[in-house]
Structure 1
């Protein structure tokens, strides 16, 4: 069986090699590139992200990354966002009083966590909804987070017209935030699966497995 092709999108957001290696171990053939057509044509697209929301959006727009994401999703082609790569999928981010427009695949705002200790750094459990494919077999595991900002409320209302996304939550010092989303071809995690040991490896395998059937 031929390995699914995955592009890890290179738009200037660091620590890409660990993501490439992790997805390769999950069973995919991986290319690290900013090329528009390659990113559009791959079986799966992984959008990483570390650092500031505004800087990530500027880097993404510089390679027309928001158009790549939008066109893939319009065609039902899988996309996985990680950390800030998840955050930029929402409508906007607010950092230090500066508001930045995101990709607007989901309504909502990325804002500073309201916890006494920030950043949220280290291992944490998550609350997984029934029917999750991403967390199949790893519902009770811990995952590695490092972030000061997050999405603290889920705003998308489907009114049963479309299948509602599966939203996984986590909590840090009493503040609840979105830890992951599964929305048809669009998946995203606030934590770093590539840094989350066996549990993160299993989640990436679950994603790569969907590429074989999409």
Structure 2
């Protein structure tokens, strides 16, 4: 356990595996809270936005709680944000799960269903290598290229902005599974289920710079 002055707010909006995320965060810091309250989350130095489920349900829940606006305010104030799995996907412009739905539009792109190809299962589930092509997000800088992380997803992020990215090769495509746009971070895999590498990445976000 490390001494950490950053207050970590974990968003509870009815679409996250909070138990696993909390267990991982506990290994890094005691200075965290889980909340769906706008004012409480506003006090956080850094926000983690986990997510499991559908794009449309996630956005509906966020809007009902007013947390969509809170996340945008948090980012605009310069504070770091980390989206995990579905939490990464809803940072994009829009998704198509259960109909077209507008996302938070913090990163340009769409969330699309993997194509049905022989030899590939949907969802993409299990351990897979994360690949580097050029500049990588800060959290990955001391993680080796082709380190394995744990995935569960049927939809993928088609990111159209020129930002720091990492990839996985699936369905004959190099798919973006991590990005950094200034203080906005996202990972498609589950760091909380990815053993040492996942805990290291979370530690870098919690303790690191923007």
Q: What TM-score do the two structures reach when normalised by structure 2?
A: 0.90
CA distance in 2, matches of 1:206, 1:93: 29
> What residue in structure 2 maps to residue 181 of structure 1?
179
Q: Helix, strand or coil for the counterpart of 2:72?
A: helix
> What residue in structure 2 maps to residue 111 of structure 1?
112
| 8 Å Cα contact 1:92-1:104 kept in structure 2 | yes
> What residue in structure 2 maps to residue 134 of structure 1?
139
Of the three residues 149, 153, 160, the one matched with 1:147 is: 153
Q: Helix, strand or coil for the counterpart of 1:95?
A: coil
Deviations 1:105-143 (A, max 9, x none): 111110101252211000011123335311122123100
| 8 Å Cα contact 1:4-1:27 kept in structure 2 | no
Answer yes or no: is 1:193 the counterpart of 2:191. Answer: yes
Task: Specify every segment of 5 or more residues in structure 2 that has no aligned partner in the other structure, as ranges.
Answer: none
> What residue in structure 2 maps to residue 100 of structure 1?
101
Q: Helix, strand or coil for the counterpart of 2:93?
A: strand
CA distance in 1, matches of 2:87, 2:107: 13
| 8 Å Cα contact 1:28-1:208 kept in structure 2 | no
* RMSD between aligned residues: 1.6
Deviations 1:48-92 (A, max 9, x none): 110111011111111111111110111101110000000000010
Sort the Cα spacing of 1:14 and 1:155 in 2 relative to 1 into closer, same or farther, 3 A: closer
CA shift, 1:174, in A, is 1.2
CA shift, 1:176, in A, is 2.4
CA shift, 1:183, in A, is 1.3
CA shift, 1:209, in A, is 1.7
Task: Specify every segment of 5 or more residues in structure 1 that has no aligned partner in the other structure, as ranges.
Answer: 158-164
CA distance in 1, matches of 2:197, 2:70: 29
CA distance in 1, matches of 2:35, 2:136: 33
Q: Helix, strand or coil for the counterpart of 2:96?
A: strand
| 8 Å Cα contact 2:15-2:52 kept in structure 1 | yes
CA shift, 1:191, in A, is 0.4
| 8 Å Cα contact 2:4-2:207 kept in structure 1 | no
Q: What TM-score do the two structures reach when normalised by structure 1?
A: 0.89
